Amino acid sequence: MQEKGLLIVLSGPSGVGKGTVRKAIFSQPDTAFEYSISMTTRAPREGEVHGVDYFFKSREEFEELIQHGKLLEHAEYVGNYYGTPIDYVKETLDSGKDVFLEIEVKGARQVRSKFPEGLFIFLAPPSLSELKNRIVTRGTETDDLIHNRMLTAREEIEMMSLYDYVVVNDQVELACEKIKAIVTAEHCRRERVQHRYLKLLEVE
Ligand code: 5GP
């Protein structure tokens, strides 16, 4: 029987740079895991492509996906829905490939309850003030929105305890390296590999 792939979940507070780290990981030719493209109701940003960055959906379409159980998790974030297609994730894991999700923390919590054997990595900001700088220097948000995001971020940081690993995003390259090292180590975990050796004994 085909051994299942690993479900890797990268999450963390808003503004920490999850998207940047994910894009950096998938721009490296030696990355061996598959990115699960999310569904969202938010409008495409300039340069974003349907089926590459996201599957862009109307609210009606998205709600239908929820009703038909087509999403592994979903969350509303700053007025828009975001969610992970369940069929893609299951089929890819069943084919033996690792699947990588980059999602916000409410979604990660749902995945944790459905896939407790997944690998949950929390991307943390070097400090809260650094996080604020990053949000402000993006230059696209109002003061109110920044304030609300800071409150959310504080709560999210407290959610760190739900995760297996914490990677501080002080340098993108370094964060990518650490995430890949964690995945490699996870594949070597005794609980994940011992059954293969036990099977060898059965043959004798
Ligand atoms: P953005 O609109 O900036 O692309 O993403 C906003 C937030 O939604 C980010 O924190 C991103 O990680 C998160 N996100 C992207 N896809 C998903 C998803 O499928 N599910 C959940 N729960 N969050 C997502």
128 pLDDT more than 70: no
Provide the whole-model pTM: 0.88
Distance 37 CA to ligand 1 centre (A): 10
Q: Identify the band that residue 78 occupies on the pLDDT scale cut at 50, 70 and 90.
A: very high
| Residue 145 CB neighbour total at 10 angstroms | 12
pLDDT at res. 97: 97
**Closest ligand 1 atom to 80 CA:** 2
Best CA proximity match to 15, nearest among 160, 134, 137? 134
Report the topology of domain 7-203.
Rossmann fold (3.40.50)
129 pLDDT more than 70: no
Instruction: Give the mean pLDDT of 48-75.
Output: 98
* 77 CB near ligand 1 (under 6 Å): yes
Assigned token pair, 102: 């980059």
Asked whether the beta carbons of 2 and 113 are under 8 A apart, the reply is no
135 pLDDT more than 80: no
Distance of CA 94 to the CA centre of its chain: 19
Distance 81 CA to ligand 1 centre (A): 9
Domain ranges in the chain? 7-203
